[in-house]
Structure 1
């Protein structure tokens, strides 16, 4: 059974969102927690937000996740925690619940899929993330995107792995499926594996999250 909060039933509609990653030089596993909430049936639609979002519309914001690795620590194999410019701590689900209490180190990811109980549409929607093969600096040096991973958490929840922890693979990867009339959300905390010496510079790349229901 999904975990429940006392919430106002509202629907938000946005088909996709993006997360930008900018790295100067950046893994771990924490407790996997998330919220999975039942929502009322409605005509088929999807909603997705990554980082700063809006409740009833589209947002052009692409949040930044970054880290600067001190010269003495470059490539020493010690994972480096990343920070964000996100300010989204409260859920967009409708109750203003504080799911991500420290947005400066977390990116909130929330998604829902609704359909009419009488509809013959798909039983679930699919949440995916696409990343390029590498982050690149101004000189053309690269860092594999697989060096960036994330852990997950959600204040007050005990539902594990609704959106799981992982790492980028330089391609499109499926994160999870969302059953009909369900909203899920949790907080992603990113880190850089720092497993090899890299040339100095600011490395950039962008990943895109998509939620689809064919």
Structure 2
């Protein structure tokens, strides 16, 4: 059965929650050439299904004790993703510990040189995370590092910090799949009111 042809734009969402309780040997799929096909894009963030829609929205969270909150020390965030193996190529373990990592992968295919030469991967975040009382934490308090065990291009999608807007993360050339593993960190640079703060970011892969 042929995989579905996807539109020139694809979205994936990643839920981010901060809980502040102040009380192939040479062809691993990090940057992999893939067969040309009618123009399509594919994107997954966390749990995904190859060349098909998957409505999963994974959650990244940090549950801070009063001691951690008062320490001012940056705190690693955990994930409910279970995706450890690449969706393309050799089924390689790109994210050995999905409980603290989120796999991000994107591909762009085309057969016609009249089509755009590449697709663009972006992420959009709101200005703040908010709690039920209306208190806020700037989304810029959350950053991410990247990794891809054994890869010569672990930063094919680079590390960064959310900015409360839309950021361009990477360019995906024609007939290529890129992938790595993201680990999120809460800066914890100021004392916040107790509560559960939530926000959602959206990743977009698009070709004009």
Give TM-score scaled by structure 1 length.
Answer: 0.87
CA distance in 1, matches of 2:5, 2:187: 35
Aligned to 1:151, which of 145, 150, 159? 145
Aligned to 1:213: 207
1:127 aligns with one of 94, 104, 121: 121
- Give 1:37's aligned residue: 32
Measure how far apart 1:39 and its partner are: 1.1
d(CA) in 1 for partners of 2:70 and 2:201?
Answer: 23
140-149 or 55-64, larger mean C-alpha shift: 55-64
Instruction: Return 14-23 or 145-154, whichever deviates more.
Output: 14-23
Unaligned segments of structure 2, at least 5 residues: 21-28
SS in 2 for 1:68: strand
Q: Kindly indicate whether the alpha-carbon contact (under 8 Å) linking 1:150 and 1:167 is maintained by their aligned counterparts in 2.
A: yes
How far off is 1:88 after superposition?
Answer: 0.2
Task: Give how far 1:61 is off.
Answer: 0.6
Deviation of residue 76 (structure 1)? 3.1
Question: Structure 1 residue 55: deviation in Å?
Answer: 1.5
Listed as ranges, the matches of 1:52-63 within 5 Å are 52-63=47-58
1:12 Cα offset (Å): 8.1
Contact 2:146 2:154 (C-alpha < 8 Å) held by counterparts: no
Deviations 1:133-161 (A, max 9, x none): 00000100000000000000012212142
Task: Write out per-residue CA displacement over residues 19-57 of structure 1, whole angstroms, 9 at most, x where no aligned residue.
Answer: 0011113xxxxxxxx811111222211000000011231
Q: Structure 1 residues 77, 11: closer, same or farther in 2, change over 3 A?
A: farther
Aligned runs of 1:101-180 on 2, under 5 Å?
101-116=96-111, 118-180=112-174
- 1:11 and 1:211 map into 2 onto residues whose CA distance is 17
- SS of match in other structure, 1:24: strand
The answer for unaligned runs of 5 or more in structure 1 is 1-9, 26-33
Measure the CA separation in 2 of the matches of 1:186 and 1:194. 25
Q: Is the 8 A contact 1:12 1:55 kept in 2?
A: no
What is the SS of the residue equivalent to 2:99? helix
Q: Please identify which structure carries the higher strand content.
A: 2
> Quick check: 1:75–1:195 contact (8 Å CA) kept in 2?
no
**Structure 1 99/161 Cα, relative in aligned 2: closer, same or farther at 3 Å?**
same
User: What's the RMSD between the two structures over aligned residues?
Assistant: 1.7
Question: CA offset at residue 16 of structure 1?
Answer: 1.6
1:74 is matched with 69
